[in-house]
Amino acid sequence: MATVDLRGRPDPATDDRVAQLDALYRVEYAGMVRLAYTLLANNAEAEEIVQDSLIEVHRRWHDIQKPGAYLRCTVVSRCRSVLQRRKMHPTHPGAELSVSDEASELWDVLTRLSDDQRMVVVLRYYGGYPSSDIAAMLEMPAATVRSHLRRGLATLKKELEG
């Protein structure tokens, strides 16, 4: 149980979980926001997702063995949900992107991929994660990850290199 101050609130200085979360935040926050942004192209959503995920990590701190991996998994899962919401609720906030024509072209093709293909491609070529890590993050077999990657790359090649 956390130490509490005189007002009954936890004292961050003595709350081990908070201190460790602070350390995780310092290491992972910016990178996770960028990863989420690369999937969503919406800074506010990306920040909200990563902050919510850190809160989730804090709640489950004693149940998880690898907080960094858990954080990545949670961020990716929440990004996937946002992509799904966008499809089902056209009024949901969408992408806001200001990049070169070439990157914009890539983004347009990425948005036409299935959510799973898009996430696998971004996690592989932006995140640099191997198939096994992506499989854990997306909760799918590594073979399925490779299948999504093959199909996603085939579409990208066709659309971008025609």
Give, as ranges, the residues between 2 and 21 that touch other proteins (CB under 8 A). 2, 4, 8-10, 12, 15, 17-18, 21
Q: Contact, 23 vs 2, CB < 8 A? A: no
Nearest to other proteins of 112, 126 (CB atom): 126
Interface mask toward other proteins for 89-118; x: CB under 8 A = x-xx----xxxx-xx--xx--------x--
Compute CA 5 distance to the chain's CA centroid, rounded to the nearest angstrom: 34
Q: Which residues contact 11 (CB under 8 A, 6 or more apart)?
A: 2, 3, 4, 5
Sign of CA dihedral 17, 23, 24, 25: positive
CB of 77 to other proteins, least distance (A): 5
Burial call 67-93: b when 16+ CB within 10 Å, e when fewer: beebbbbbbbbbbbebbeebeeeeeee
User: Using the rule CB under 8 A, is 150 a contact of other proteins?
Assistant: yes
CB of 56 to other proteins, least distance (A): 9
CB of 109 to other proteins, least distance (A): 10
The tokens describing 86, both together, are: 């966008």
Residues 51-70 that bind other proteins (CB under 8 A): 51, 54-55, 58-60, 63-64, 70
CB of 72 to other proteins, least distance (A): 11
Residues 117-146 that bind other proteins (CB under 8 A): 121-122, 125-126, 135-136, 138-144
- CA dihedral of 59, 61, 63, 68, whole degrees rounded to 10: 120
CB of 66 to other proteins, least distance (A): 9
Q: Residue from 68, 108, 130, 157 that binds other proteins (CB under 8 A)? A: 157
Q: What is the greatest pairwise CA distance in the chain?
A: 67
